[in-house]
Structure 1
Amino acid sequence: MSERLDAVKTKIRALRARTVARGCTEAEAATAMEMAARLMRDHGLDEADLEMAQVECQRPATAKAHARDRLAAVVAYCTNCAGLKTIRWGGARCFFVGPAPLAEIAAYTRDLCEAAIDRELRAFQRTPAYTRKRSQKTRGEASRAFVEGMVSVLALRLRDAFRGQRNEAIAARSGAWLDRLEPDAASVGKAKPTRDPRAADQGAAAARRVELSAGVGADRRDGALDGPRRLIGGPA
């Protein structure tokens, strides 16, 4: 049903794009507007339905509270979206809700950051700082601390990359749309910090090495970002 409704929304947007300014005659533009209005009535859609989108990230989320949740929250803030984590029998998934292009950029950015964390974590787990740990518990704590360090630095770098793009009005609309979609959604609890400062420092250093470039137009001040761009460099 969702895919079918998305197809209807796409058709409505295409019809509404048929304007005189884009080369259509007045009669063609009027007919297109009438068809778009009829589709909206038939499917119970309003303007918010056409503007907003819910985009699922390709990479799964963690079922339990984790430092990675903070990364998703920062991405949502930077892109004027609202973040959502759902936990089902099939696992945990991460979504972003907001104006269609922004939600797409948010999911794209979060997935690329997650890919960078996974890549650097694998490299860290081959170092003596990890392999010399004698128990699975201490190794798990080292891994979590490493991710915490990466997330802390990536959060700062993302805020810098998206500087000037925050728009409270758009963010409020995104939040209101999330409330409409998921009225029973609750805030994600914060993960307890680990106590392995050495691993956290190595995670922070790894985050500083990640290639990060601005993915927004420098001249945009309305909170609308340019089309998705590659923010995190290196192989996935």
Structure 2
Amino acid sequence: MTDRTPAEPIEVIVVEDDPDLREEVVDYLLAKGLNVREAASGAALDRLLGAKAADVVVLDLGLPNEDGIAVANRLRSRAESVGIVMMTARARVEERILGYDTGADVYLVKPVDYRELLAAIRATRRNRPTGGPASAGEPASDLTWRLDLAAWRLAAPSGASIRLTRAEAQLLECLTEDPGRPVSRDIIAERMGKLPTLGEHRYVDQVVSRLRRKIATSLGWDAPIGAAHGQGYYVVDSVKRIDA
């Protein structure tokens, strides 16, 4: 598959179970020059992605059979590079935090001004690694990170690296001991020298959020950290460890 040039339209999938709202959103984005497909459920989204990759998924959370949070978590667990714009009626701060922790690039609360949605899609596409979306079924062999625990450094697949704080290094050390397995906030907090309390759980969440922003800002990549609702955090990409 050849790389997409900057002039080519953004590939978007709108996942919304309300047919009237879905039609409005799709029509608006098509009118703005985007390539848009639509789905009413997570299963329908999987079928579309299996046929052709997307740059951005606009994702409702109140979906039938499978919650949108679970859908986003599945996308991130497969190391999908697709951008996620959540568009939902769930407006509480806790729900927005969960959305971002699960993998949302942008979280919009309904009713949404479609001009803002368009801006969010364009911004999300700009912030993804260049080269266009991977084709369906393409292996993620190039998504190998390097974690140097002696130097407290994390290097992206591109080779660019950042310096980690002690807490960030402890977090990644804990998550990479059994890659892909969710690690509870209790265990992570204890590894950081904290007590397994609700307050320290929030501290763990803050470390994860700061590290995600740091990686996105400094390296231009999504952090290789996924969130499993009710279970904790895990690594979603291959990470080669260099132990201290």
Structure showing greater Rg:
1
Bigger relative contact order, structure 1 or 2, given CA contacts below 8 A and separation 6+?
A: 1
Richer in strand (by share):
2
TM-score, normalized by the shorter chain, greater than 0.5: no
The structure with the greater share of residues assigned to helix is: 1
Q: TM-score range by the shorter chain?
A: under 0.3
* Alignment TM-score, normalising by the size of structure 2: 0.21
